[in-house]
């Protein structure tokens, strides 16, 4: 995202994922509703509107379905 916002040319084959600056520039643009978040050391969360899965560095997981209470 920073590469796109600064106008720099990205290094070859070193960047993965989608350019989120498109969403910043045009709020009407449809974006994917799935996000991946990294927090602390080797902890990750994948979340959509319905599901969330947290994977901790010790490989334990917490799955959630937000339509169920």
Q: Looking at residue 58, what is its pLDDT?
A: 95
Residue 15 belongs to a domain: no
Residue 3 belongs to a domain: no
Residue 41 belongs to a domain: yes
Of residues 51 and 20, more confidence is placed in 51
Residue 25 belongs to a domain: no
Query: Tens of pLDDT along 39-63?
Result: 888 899 888 878 889 999 999 999 9
Residue 48 belongs to a domain: yes
Instruction: Note down the domain range covering 40.
Output: 30-69
Record the pTM.
Answer: 0.51
> Among positive and negative, which fits the CA dihedral 40, 14, 2, 35?
negative
Residue 14 belongs to a domain: no
- Total domains in the chain come to 1
Q: Summarize the chain as % helix, strand, coil (round to 5).
A: 15, 30, 55
């Amino acid at each position: 995202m920073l590469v796109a916002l600064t106008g720099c040319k990205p290094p070859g084959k070193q960047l993965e994922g989608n350019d989120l600056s498109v969403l910043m520039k045009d709020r009407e643009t449809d974006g994917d509703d799935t996000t991946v978040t990294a927090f602390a050391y080797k902890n990750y969360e994948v979340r959509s509107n319905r599901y969330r899965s947290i994977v901790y560095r010790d490989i334990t997981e917490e799955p959630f379905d937000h339509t169920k209470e």
